[in-house]
Amino acid sequence: MRYNHYMTEAQRLQAAWARRAPLHDDKDTTAYRLLNGAADGFPDLTVDRYGPVLIANVYSQGERVKPPTRLLTTLADWAGAQAVYVKYRPRQANALAEADRQALAPPEALLGQSVEEVEALENGLRFRVRPAEGLSTGLFLDMRTVRAWLREQAKGRTILNCFAYTCGFGLAGLAGGAARVVNLDISKRYLEWGQANYAANGLEAPTTDFIFGDVFDWLKRFTRTGQKFDLVVLDPPSYATTRQTRFSLARDYAGLVALAAPVVKPGGRLLACANTHALARKTFLAQIRRGVPEFGATVLKVEHEPDLDFPVAPGSEPYLKAAWVNVGN
């Protein structure tokens, strides 16, 4: 049964749960989305499952509104969840003061007992998830398929993982047999979190493969020193602000691709990702092409059906876009 406009709330909830039946039964993946907003008939609400914990994201323009407690109680019962947390999503998180950010991500559970950290599985890989950490809890679920693709491409390759966050792509690369993965991020805390993810999977890497710094600055450094990688991952946030850089994904993606292309070995690949409605698929591909014209690059469009847990609302295109780019082939 699929969602339609004539369903009651209970029917919509049941349809969303039934759609994800293969994931409920998948012992290798316990991290996935239970409700995906308007596509499941619940505008302004998503609910993510991380093993024994559910996290509800209420898109309320940064206002603390009454959460859908009854609906969340039902989902928690079906999932056997130990706790449910609520995050109140603002329009633009990077513009928030720290106190405002904390107010929108209460550290205590709405339902059940609060927990500091839980373990969730994605295609057999273990991730440390911290439900009370803030608006971002350690793993972006919509990139599951893309991480799986990278894992399939990784064997024997050297990989640069830009905007590494908690090193999900790095973990997928090493699990796929990469010769080396360098994780680069502006946050020491997230890189340390990534190292904890490595340890949870029995993987080791030298501390020099976790670089704290501005991606834009380091891409220039790598170009100056001639350091290149077989595969470069670009998965930037929608907005980023550092001492030297003011980045908007929708506005500046071509410039980012232009910085990354010289760091790819001839015949290597760039994995370009964008996670926003503000950048349409057609514009996304156009920006990639504008960023790599002098490198003889070929954009290989990544086509796939929406994941079971990330359906697309009728009349909409997926907000998540990813493309493999062959550079210098």
- Per-residue pLDDT averaged across 50-62, rounded? 91
Please check whether residue 144 is in contact with residue 119, taking contact to mean a CB–CB distance below 8 angstroms.
Answer: no
Distance CA 314, CA 307 (A): 15
Distance CA 94, CA 112 (A): 30
* 34-48 per-position pLDDT tens digit: 999 999 999 999 999
Q: Which residue has the higher pLDDT, 139 or 296?
A: 139
93 pLDDT higher than 60? no
234 pLDDT higher than 80? yes
Please check whether residue 153 is in contact with residue 60, taking contact to mean a CB–CB distance below 8 angstroms.
Answer: no
329 pLDDT higher than 80? no
pLDDT at residue number 214: 94
Integer-rounded Cα radius of gyration of the chain: 20
Residue extents of the structural domains in the chain: 9-129, 141-326
pLDDT at residue number 225: 97
Tokens representing residue 233 in the block: 């991952």
Tell me whether residue 245 is exposed, middle or buried, using C-beta atoms within 10 angstroms of its C-beta: 0 to 12, 13 to 18, 19 or more: middle
Please check whether residue 7 is in contact with residue 41, taking contact to mean a CB–CB distance below 8 angstroms.
Answer: yes
324 pLDDT higher than 70? yes
92 pLDDT higher than 60? no
3 pLDDT higher than 90? no
Which band of pLDDT confidence, cut at 50, 70 and 90, is reported for residue 231?
Answer: very high
- Per-residue pLDDT averaged across 308-328, rounded? 87
Tokens representing residue 298 in the block: 């070929």
**Helix (H) / strand (E) containing 182:** strand 180-185
- Per-residue pLDDT averaged across 83-91, rounded? 89
CATH of 9-129, one of 3.40.50.970, 1.10.286.10, 3.30.750.80, 3.40.1650.10: 3.30.750.80
- Per-residue pLDDT averaged across 72-100, rounded? 82
97 pLDDT higher than 80? no
pLDDT at residue number 64: 76
pLDDT at residue number 302: 65
pTM metric for this prediction: 0.92
316 pLDDT higher than 90? no
Q: Which residue has the higher pLDDT, 26 or 134?
A: 26
Beta strands in 237-281 (DSSP E): 239-241, 246-248, 264-275
pLDDT at residue number 243: 66
Tell me whether residue 232 is exposed, middle or buried, using C-beta atoms within 10 angstroms of its C-beta: 0 to 12, 13 to 18, 19 or more: buried
Please check whether residue 34 is in contact with residue 309, taking contact to mean a CB–CB distance below 8 angstroms.
Answer: yes
Q: Do domains 9-129 and 141-326 have the same CATH topology?
A: no
**What percent of the chain lies above the pLDDT cut of 70?**
90
Can you say whether the dihedral through the CA atoms of 210, 216, 219, 224 is positive or negative? negative
Sheet holding 53-59, edge to edge: 31-36, 45-50, 53-59, 83-89, 111-112
The residue length of the chain stands at 329
148 pLDDT higher than 60? yes
Q: Tell me the sheet residues that pair with 249.
A: none
Tokens representing residue 66 in the block: 């009454």
Tokens representing residue 99 in the block: 């106190």
Query: What average pLDDT does the structure give for the chain?
Result: 90
Please check whether residue 257 is in contact with residue 292, taking contact to mean a CB–CB distance below 8 angstroms.
Answer: yes
* 18-37 per-position pLDDT tens digit: 999 999 999 999 999 999 99
pLDDT at residue number 304: 57
- For domain 141-326, which architecture applies? 3-Layer(aba) Sandwich (3.40)
Which band of pLDDT confidence, cut at 50, 70 and 90, is reported for residue 90?
Answer: confident
Distance CA 43, CA 58 (A): 9
Q: Tokens 């989305």 identify what position?
A: 33
Tell me whether residue 281 is exposed, middle or buried, using C-beta atoms within 10 angstroms of its C-beta: 0 to 12, 13 to 18, 19 or more: middle
